[in-house]
């Protein structure tokens, strides 16, 4: 056998194995099975070690799909950004990661352990920070006037998170019959003190306090009381309403709107509005970018749009 044939045999073995399957093409880049598996190697190894075959296969398929989609989004973002002259260098990225770790009083080793405890790899986290740096360079929320209506709409959306609620300061008088409560209403309208009437005639436990219930959240009021109170002007008596097995009337003393918030809460809402606008801008840019970068997964047939 000639020297050439011997060398050829050594270089090109008869039985070659595919060790790095291509999972997707993103523009002029490729994502391999190795890239997918090594996005979070510790999690991948943990899944591979699962003994039950069905569980292992299910979790492995989920991991691969999520990792591949994540890498595709990151590559699309990088390619689209580079087309517009935006590039994050490895040095800038490493500096940003170091600053984040230092800001949390962690060494890089401890920082990686913290990420690992959250099922994140340093590689994944770097991609996330890189994407944020790209997006902050590309997208700036325009200077807009945030209207009172914008703040109210966000307050409605975030009211549970921020503990915002409408409060009514009310007093109540209850009586056994509607005619009795109407008589009390007439006396108060003619000048009698609501508090005195409550102390003398109310069947409610608040009678000793002149009927005062303090500030109440309308959400937690019985429906009949809520309707009566919300339709009553401040400083006025409500219409009589059925209250449990009795009849009642409320004096609406004061109203505190959930929109009357302190400046710190208003600032949180302004930030939430800004974040929402930024997220919308990111979504719009990513959709546009995906239209300009060809993405072809190996398990999908290429379709020309």
Spatial distance between the Cα atoms of 265 and 165, rounded to a whole number of angstroms: 13
Average pLDDT, the chain: 87
Summarize pLDDT for 235-270 with one digit per residue, the tens: 999 999 999 899 999 999 999 999 998 899 999 898
pLDDT recorded at residue 10 = 42
pLDDT recorded at residue 301 = 53
3-12, 176-185, 219-228: least confidently modelled range: 3-12
Label residue 224 by pLDDT band (50, 70, 90).
Answer: very high
Q: Long-range contacts: 28-34, Cβ < 8 Å, 24+?
A: 29/75, 29/79, 31/68, 31/71, 31/72, 31/75
Tell me the average pLDDT across 61-73.
94
**Angle, CA 120 vertex, CA 162 and CA 108 arms, to 5°:** 100
Are residues 150 and 113 in contact, defined by beta-carbon separation less than 8 angstroms? no
Tell me the average pLDDT across 63-79.
93
Spatial distance between the Cα atoms of 61 and 56, rounded to a whole number of angstroms: 9
Summarize pLDDT for 15-61 with one digit per residue, the tens: 444 457 899 999 989 999 999 999 999 999 999 999 999 999 999 99
CA distances from 300 to 2, 12, 18, 24, 25 (A): 45, 31, 20, 9, 11
**Sign of the torsion angle spanned by Cα atoms 110, 111, 113, 114:** positive
**What H or E segment, with its residue span, contains residue 150?**
helix 148-162
pTM above 0.85, yes or no: no
41-50, 70-79, 155-164, 198-207: least confidently modelled range: 155-164
Spatial distance between the Cα atoms of 284 and 276, rounded to a whole number of angstroms: 12
pLDDT recorded at residue 278 = 80
Are residues 31 and 22 in contact, defined by beta-carbon separation less than 8 angstroms? yes
CA dihedral 210, 211, 217, 223 (to 10 degrees): -160
> For residue 170, how many other CB atoms are within 10 A of its CB?
25
Domain 165-256 has CATH 3.40.50.1100: no
Label residue 141 by pLDDT band (50, 70, 90).
Answer: low
Are residues 121 and 35 in contact, defined by beta-carbon separation less than 8 angstroms? no
Percent of the chain, pLDDT > 90? 60
Q: Match 């000639």 to its residue by tokens.
A: 2
The residue among 139 and 123 whose pLDDT is bigger is 123
SS3 per-residue string spanning 78-140: HHHHHHCCCCCCHHHHHHHHHHHHHHCCCCHHHHHHHHHHCCCCHHHHHHHHHHHHHHHHHCC
Label residue 14 by pLDDT band (50, 70, 90).
Answer: very low
Domain positions in the chain: 165-256
pLDDT recorded at residue 94 = 92
pLDDT recorded at residue 246 = 94
Q: Evaluate if residue 13 carries a pLDDT over 50.
A: no
Spatial distance between the Cα atoms of 158 and 107, rounded to a whole number of angstroms: 36
What order do you get walking across the sheet with 246-256 strand by strand? Answer: 212-217, 167-175, 246-256, 241-243
pLDDT recorded at residue 242 = 94
CA dihedral 293, 296, 297, 299 (to 10 degrees): 160
Q: Which of 250, 172, 258, 235 is nearest to 208 (CA)?
A: 172
Q: Evaluate if residue 225 carries a pLDDT over 90.
A: yes
Tell me the average pLDDT across 191-220.
95
């Amino acid at each position: 056998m000639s020297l050439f044939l011997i060398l050829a045999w050594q270089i090109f073995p008869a039985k070659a194995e595919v060790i790095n399957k291509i999972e997707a093409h993103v523009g002029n880049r490729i994502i391999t099975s190795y890239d997918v598996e090594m996005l979070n190697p510790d999690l991948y190894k943990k899944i591979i070690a699962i003994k039950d075959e069905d569980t292992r296969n299910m979790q492995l398929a989920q991991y691969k799909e999520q990792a591949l989609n994540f890498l595709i989004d990151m590559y699309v973002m990088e390619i689209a950004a580079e087309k517009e002259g935006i590039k994050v260098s490895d040095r800038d990225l490493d500096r940003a990661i170091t600053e984040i770790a230092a800001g949390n009083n962690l060494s890089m080793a401890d920082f990686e352990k913290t990420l690992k405890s959250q099922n994140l790899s340093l590689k994944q986290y770097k991609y996330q920070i890189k994407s944020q740096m790209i997006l902050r360079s590309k997208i700036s929320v325009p200077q807009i006037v945030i209207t009172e209506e914008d703040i109210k709409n966000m307050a409605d959306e975030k009211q549970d998170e921020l503990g915002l609620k409408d409060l009514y300061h009310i007093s109540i008088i209850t009586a056994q019959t509607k005619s009795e409560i109407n008589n009390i209403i007439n006396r108060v309208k003619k000048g009698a003190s609501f508090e005195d009437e409550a102390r003398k005639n109310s069947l409610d436990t608040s009678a000793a306090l002149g009927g005062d219930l303090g500030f109440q959240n309308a959400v937690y009021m019985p429906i009949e009381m809520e309707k009566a109170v919300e339709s009553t002007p401040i400083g006025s008596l409500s219409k009589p309403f059925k209250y449990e097995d009795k009849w009642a009337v409320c004096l609406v003393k004061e109203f505190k709107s959930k929109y009357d918030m302190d400046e710190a809460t208003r600032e949180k809402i302004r930030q939430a509005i800004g974040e929402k606008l930024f997220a919308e801008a990111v979504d719009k840019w990513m959709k546009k970018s995906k239209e300009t970068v060809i993405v072809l997964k190996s398990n999908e047939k290429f379709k020309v749009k």
